[in-house]
A and B are shown apart, each in its own frame.
Chain A
Amino acid sequence: MKVIEAKNITKVYNADKVPVNALRGVSFSVDKGEFTAIVGPSGCGKSTLLNIVGGLDSPSEGEITIDGKDLSNLKENKLIDFRLNKIGFVFQSYNLIPVLTAKENISLIMELQGLSKKARDDRAMELLKAVGLEGKEHKKPSELSGGQQQRVAVARALASEPSFILADEPTANLDSVSTNNLLDIMAEMNREKGTTFIFSTHDQRVINKARRVIKLDDGLIVSDDNMVLNP
């Protein structure tokens, strides 16, 4: 089953001044259960592509379908609801609300979805345990390490039970131990729960962990390799 289908996506920034062709005709699709890396040098268009796939930005041309739904016709408010329920996000930084604890950060998204307090608490604790942060539920982000914060972000992304999780360079600010740790947790979620992950990176160690690698260069897909073996 396809969760993402992108057809001929282009993105031009500053069309009226100095146009920047960030994407120049990108087509690909993602099946449920994939563990896919979007790779390429800085400025090649990774973030732009993930933003478009995540409904945070709209393409200049082309069509994007998520779970069978065409995003181009959605109004901003509908789009926010769509993101809330269908897509989990992990960003490079500023993932968490500084004034909320780890558990509250995870609960927040479920509260936005309208889950009961009990259901939120149970699931938040369960997820914290799954990302190896048991006992840290009452810590504020500033009291957690960078790697721990990103793990809370992954737990938060999982909390809403989305169709897939988009992670834009989630390890860019992490040391290698934390990077490995985070990738292992993501891979485990993918293996055991079948969660679909699409993440961008330019870190070779992270690329090695992916099962499918889509290589972007200058706004175009230059290769798309499906690894048979799981590292």
Chain B
Amino acid sequence: MLFTIAWRNVWRQKVRSLVIIGAMVVGLWGLIFAIGFMSGFMDSYLSNALKYEYSHIQVHHPDFKQDQEIKYNIKQGIKKVAEIVTDTNVKAATHRTIVNAMIGSAKASSGVKVLGVDSLLEKEVTSFDQLITDGTYFKSVKRNPLLIGEKLAEKLKVKLRSKIVLTFQNLEGEIVSEAFRVAGIFNAKSPILNETVVMVNFRDINKNLGDKNLVSEIAVYLNDVDKIEESQEAISSILPDYRVEKWDKLAPELSLIVQQSKTNVFILVTIFMTALIFGIINTMLMAVLERIKELGMLMAIGMNRIKVFTMIIIETIFLGLVACPVGLFLGHLTISYFNGNGFDLSDYSQGLEKFGYETVIYPIISGNHYFMLSMGIFITTIVASIYPALKAIKLKPAEALRKI
């Protein structure tokens, strides 16, 4: 009967109970939306960065990271790529040459990182062909085609088919120059790619390096990111002498952002739950104080303290039990709606695009988050009910009954 009493007590002061239940519902709803929005934001940012830029795993010579020179290369790199793709979890893999060069147009010049890529493999790994906004992906120029970012093209004042000269050192340390022609202009999400990278065909750059099979980097895109550890091991066994790194090592700023967004969620939830604790304590304290005589009577006739305590706790949990499903449901509806339709941020998009973010967010939330929030509400209500419940059992029946 404790449950019956507790449940009916919840509805004894309907307005008061509904106010606190309403606060929980709105809070949960808002939290779910905020979490969904942040997750969606993170997800698209992360998957863009992985898809177009980093891939999941990259292989380099152990010294390459410190000193990006062509002498730190991967022996038999092209053959190894063929071996790597036999792993079923590997969606695609490609080899690249990376050369630091001077880039010069008729009007200006600048430092640049040249990626020598296998155009067919490259688009499987980085979908780079999808980023071309003007011209083609290596097709429209017969000899020495080159892809350049919008920003850099602007800086060098070059257009499609403009001639560009790359100047760099070969393996012997001699300075070499080679002329290229702009085949396509790309707009990558990453400002670094847009401003400091150009792409050319692997063989066009390698023929000038003194080793036509020189490979600086191998990039691997996976089917299932959850199995990244296994794939990393498999690749390490194919290339035991090289550094095989996962994306979070390659791009520490990415994993930092992911970590930061998790921390943000945690902070938001903590703030909400803390505020909620005080709201619930207030509500339940009122409920206990206006029932002093009744509680005194119950203890007088023989309800022991554990039962009185439990009754107050149950009553509080009921508040959460009513609020939680409603809040989760509203939150879920909202997330589902925007997940289907997208949440358009284009009013603020110029700032966002600059940093490589999408302008339409598709909020997403995991079952894990729902579970975490439900548990959070459950624990919060229990924590908040302890003080009022203690207040209730501290009553002395004789004194409680004497109170008017």
Contacts and interface: CB of A to CB of B under 8 A. Distances in A.
Interface stretch (A102-110, A129-137, A204-212, A213-221): A102-110
Interface in A80-94: 80-81, 83-85, 89, 91, 93-94
Binding site secondary structure of chain B? helix
A108 to B, nearest CB: 6
Nearest to A84: B302
A70 interface: no
A156 B1 CA distance: 15
A160 B302 contact: yes
Nearest to A82: B302
Contact of A97 (B5, B305, B307, B397): B5
Interface string B367-404: 00000000000000000000000000000111001100
A83 B298 contact: no
Given A97-B298, A98-B12, A100-B5, A112 B398 contact: no
Given A77-B304, A81-B302, A112-B307, A98 B1 contact: no
Interface string B281-301: 000000000000110011111
Contacts of A109: 301-302
Interface in A99-130: 99-100, 104, 107-109, 111-113
A84 B303 CA distance: 7
A110 to B, nearest CB: 10
A51 interface: yes
Given A98-B294, A99-B9, A104-B1, A89 B398 contact: no
B397 A56 contact: yes
Interface residues of B, number: 23
A45 interface: no
A156 B300 CA distance: 13
Given A47-B402, A83-B300, A77 B305 contact: yes
A94 B300 contact: no
Interface string B1-36: 100110011001000000000000000000000000
Contact of A80 (B8, B297, B299, B402): B299
Interface string A159-188: 010000000000000000000000000000
A190 interface: no
A95 B296 CA distance: 10
A94 B299 CA distance: 13
Contacts of A84: 301-303
A154 B225 CA distance: 72
Interface residues of A, number: 31
A63 to B, nearest CB: 19
Contacts of B401: 56, 91, 94
Given A94-B401, A99-B8, A100-B5, A83 B302 contact: yes
Contacts of A91: 297, 300, 401
A57 interface: yes
A108 B303 CA distance: 9
Contacts of A157: 301
Contacts of A113: 302
B5 A112 contact: no
Contacts of B8: 99-100
A56 B294 CA distance: 15
B301 A83 contact: yes
Nearest to B298: A97
Given A93-B293, A97-B5, A99-B9, 12 more contacts: A51-B398, A56-B398, A77-B305, A83-B301, A83-B302, A84-B302, A85-B302, A91-B297, A94-B401, A99-B8, A99-B12, A109-B302
23 contacts: A47-B402, A54-B300, A56-B397, A76-B305, A77-B304, A77-B305, A80-B302, A80-B304, A80-B305, A81-B304, A84-B301, A84-B303, A89-B300, A91-B300, A94-B293, A94-B401, A97-B5, A97-B294, A97-B298, A99-B8, A104-B4, A107-B1, A109-B301
